Structure 1
Amino acid sequence: MKQYIKRYMQNFDYPLFFTVVGLSLFGLVMIYSSSMLVSVVREGEGPDYYYIRQVKNLIVAAIGFFVTAFFPYKHYASKGIMLLLTIVLAILFTWLKIWGHGAEDVGSQSWIKIPGLGNFQPSEYAKLFVILYFAAAFYRKAQKYTFEKLQPTEIFYPIFLWILVLAGVAFETDLGASIILCGIAVSVVAASGIPFKIFWKFLGVLGVFGATIIGILLLFKGDLLTGSRKGRILSYFNPFDYEDNVGKQVVNSYYAIGGGGVSGRGLGQSIQKLGYLPEPQTDFIMAIILEELGIWGALIVVGGLGFIIYKGFSIALRTKDPLARMIAAGIASWIGWQTFINLGGVTGLIPLTGVTLPFISYGGTSIIVLSLAMGILINVSMFEKVERKKLQS
């Protein structure tokens, strides 16, 4: 064990680690700045209410990070770990279905309350689950078959499980998470090393089942397109026509971004967080960052997240281990998709979906599960470095 830790620390991915820490601390500062009025007016607490809660979230996240960072990633391919991850997922979604709660205005049921821990969002765990389960399933199949002979029917269980997970998240109904789950599944399969022709077969299977789930949702869940969701779609084309209701968030986000200009108004000097922009500490925290810090804030966030995505894909491209490649590519694609969907919603590039900005937005479930994923990625990075040094010696 002592020798393992020594070798681990010698090959620890410090640039990736300090980027994650830096983004999390920067996010903590911006959560305090953006949520002061919301904390006092809506929550009836002190101005540091959300800040203190996020500090507690980060402590739990740090513990989870170091646990997964020192846990050898190869163990995720074992049947025991796969079964454990599946049982946890089943418990969370059963709990959500029976006792879940969410935002009534959009008809969502995305949260469960865990005694002693507070609210937890199962869809965040589902993202990490799909990465680990898909990677393990494809890796185990690769030990028995050559990918040239592998057919979709031979990985029926992971595909079926992905369908159940996607259906569970879609029925919450969390559109942003559903899109991310699709992107993750495609990225993991693409990174598995299967030939291009077979990859398209898998993509077709996933597409057919995904379309089927959407059809079932539209058929049996009549309240899927609530007034709020329809409004988001309509306001996407011209938010200023709906400035007083469903377009309020995007319009005030524009005002925040435009008001900040190149250099920003200064830290803590946002106007739009003073009751104009709803939930400034979560989905729209980037608008506050741009208003207060201007282009420099954007460079910190986009640069940091871009570096994490780059590291994930570069690890996936360098490693010779299919399991490591799939895990790294899955985590990198997760961060990439979530960043794009959040920033796209804030800037009006795509319709709003309620997705948080990784490591920056307020949210316990998000920062904890993302930290677990970063620990796994750093563990993969360490083993990839050891592998590379052996080949060079």
Structure 2
Amino acid sequence: MQKLKYLDYWLLVPYLVLSLFGIVMVYSASADIGSQNGGSPGSYLIKQAIYVLLGMIIVTFMFKMNLNKLRDKTILKYAGYLALAALLLLLVRGQTINGAAGWFRLGPIGIQPAEFVKFYLIVWLANAIDQRQDELMEDGWWATMLRPVLICFGIVFLIFLQPDLGGSTINAAIVFVMLLASGFNWHRAVAFFGGAFLLVVAVIFPLVVKVSEMGFAKNVYQLQRIVAFINPFKHSQTVGQQLVNSYYALSNGGVFGVGWGNSIQKTGYLPEPNTDFIMAILAEELGLITALAVITLLFLIIVRTVLIGIRSGSAYQSLICYGAATYLTVQTLFNLGGVLGMLPITGVTFPFISYGGSSTWTLALVMGVILNISARQKHYRATR
């Protein structure tokens, strides 16, 4: 079929706009970093432009390919072995950035396997659930899904050990939502995760505060992030510096911003201005209006993806859509939550806007598959 005829512009246009706008914001947010590191102000711009260009090639490839190739047992098996080997190797040979040994250095770029695992879990788990539809009806949920659940738990646990709290939580959320869609009792799920949340709020956070007051969190990066979240201004000269300067950036920007390229906080005050905190720089330079426009475009992609999943007559395709929408939603909430001080800083990027090859390419894989599913749906409706 002529897939271009059935291209979903409600997905493609926001993706292109956000990706291209991301290149512009990466340049603005990273120009000072590039100079401070001995390079040129445009060094990150060039890299991000290449990442996005390669991402668009990936989107085109995934859009045109036969979706059944993603269900090939051999491909899924060896991709799983590769992911497992990479995650295990990271524990002993990974490059440590911001307290997590989650990167392999390949020349001038860093590869983050936990990003690609998000895509792998989506397509693998969708296939695993779809192939067990009859067994789910006959043998019950736990008897049928225990093995896939244990495999997913093992993968997420390896990411957690890096330690990468943000990456492991996003992957866990993807798995959780897809398992719910497979027929898992949502009452039990809500009770379990609600209880876990209350435990964290009532026990873990107070414990972290006590630990920080005793000085034990001084060299533990993950604990420092929670300490900074609880009381950033008390630790504004140390672990709370990121969040406090994020507040300053948001305050400086106001509704319309101080102008593109005019951020104060990116000039050495706010660490990671081109990755974790790029939305703070965006809000400072271009204001609340532009930030809301970016979030609206991303929200459009998420809603469109969910609608495609709902309309699909294939359980496999629906599950992929739900997993992809969860990935985009949770990652967005985690990033914005960290920038706004509503959640501990988890070190995750903002989709399509932040600098990074691994995240850009993983998003491209997901977008290509969703565009593929949407085109198949449009073709089916047009020919039936």
Task: Compute the TM-score of the two structures, normalised by the length of structure 1.
Answer: 0.87
Q: How far has the Cα of 1:201 moved from its partner? A: 6.3
Residue pair 1:189, 1:326 contacting (<8 A) in 2 also: no
Q: How far has the Cα of 1:339 moved from its partner? A: 0.1
SS of aligned partner of 1:187: helix
Q: How far has the Cα of 1:14 moved from its partner? A: 1.9
2:147 equivalent to 1:157: yes
1:204–1:296: structure 2 CA closer, same or farther, 3 Å change rule? closer
Q: How far has the Cα of 1:299 moved from its partner? A: 2.2
Amino acid corresponding to residue 185 of structure 1 in structure 2: V
2:118 equivalent to 1:123: no
* Pairing partner for 1:138 from 118, 129, 133: 129
Q: Which residue is equivalent to 2:238? A: 245
Amino acid corresponding to residue 127 of structure 1 in structure 2: K
1:191–1:224: structure 2 CA closer, same or farther, 3 Å change rule? farther
Q: Which residue is equivalent to 2:158? A: 168
Aligned mates of 2:153, 2:233 — CA distance in 1:
38
Q: Which residue is equivalent to 2:302? A: 309
1:68–1:88: structure 2 CA closer, same or farther, 3 Å change rule? farther
SS of aligned partner of 2:21: helix
Amino acid corresponding to residue 14 of structure 1 in structure 2: Y
Q: Which residue is equivalent to 1:87? A: 81
1:80–1:227: structure 2 CA closer, same or farther, 3 Å change rule? closer
Q: Which residue is equivalent to 1:185? A: 175
* Pairing partner for 2:64 from 61, 70, 76: 70
Aligned mates of 2:321, 2:192 — CA distance in 1:
23
TM-align CA RMSD: 2.6
SS of aligned partner of 2:101: coil
Aligned mates of 2:4, 2:115 — CA distance in 1:
29
2:369 equivalent to 1:369: no
Q: Which residue is equivalent to 1:214? A: none
Q: How far has the Cα of 1:189 moved from its partner? A: 1.8
Residue pair 2:135, 2:144 contacting (<8 A) in 1 also: no
Q: How far has the Cα of 1:207 moved from its partner? A: 10
2:16 equivalent to 1:24: no
Deviates more, 1:296-305 or 1:278-287: 296-305
2:269 equivalent to 1:279: no
1:273–1:17: structure 2 CA closer, same or farther, 3 Å change rule? same
SS of aligned partner of 1:119: strand
Q: Which residue is equivalent to 2:38? A: 44
Deviates more, 1:259-268 or 1:86-95: 86-95
2:313 equivalent to 1:320: yes
SS of aligned partner of 2:95: coil
Aligned mates of 2:66, 2:142 — CA distance in 1:
29
Aligned mates of 1:31, 1:248 — CA distance in 2:
21
What is the count of residue pairs matched by the alignment?
Answer: 369
Residue pair 1:290, 1:297 contacting (<8 A) in 2 also: yes
Aligned mates of 2:153, 2:275 — CA distance in 1:
29
Amino acid corresponding to residue 244 of structure 1 in structure 2: Q
Aligned mates of 1:96, 1:238 — CA distance in 2:
32
Unaligned runs of 5+ in 2: 200-215
1:369–1:304: structure 2 CA closer, same or farther, 3 Å change rule? same
SS of aligned partner of 1:307: helix
Aligned mates of 1:201, 1:291 — CA distance in 2:
43
Residue pair 2:263, 2:281 contacting (<8 A) in 1 also: yes
1:124–1:225: structure 2 CA closer, same or farther, 3 Å change rule? farther
Amino acid corresponding to residue 99 of structure 1 in structure 2: R
Q: Which residue is equivalent to 1:14? A: 9
Aligned mates of 2:123, 2:106 — CA distance in 1:
24
Amino acid corresponding to residue 113 of structure 1 in structure 2: R
Deviates more, 1:267-276 or 1:332-341: 267-276
Q: How far has the Cα of 1:159 moved from its partner? A: 1.2
Residue pair 1:186, 1:203 contacting (<8 A) in 2 also: no
Q: How far has the Cα of 1:341 moved from its partner? A: 0.2
The percentage of counterpart residues that share the same residue type is 34
Deviates more, 1:297-306 or 1:351-360: 297-306
Aligned mates of 2:233, 2:124 — CA distance in 1:
44
* Pairing partner for 2:281 from 285, 288, 302: 288
What CA deviation, in whole Å up to 9, does each residue of 1:127-150 have, x standing for no partner?
1111111100001111x4353643
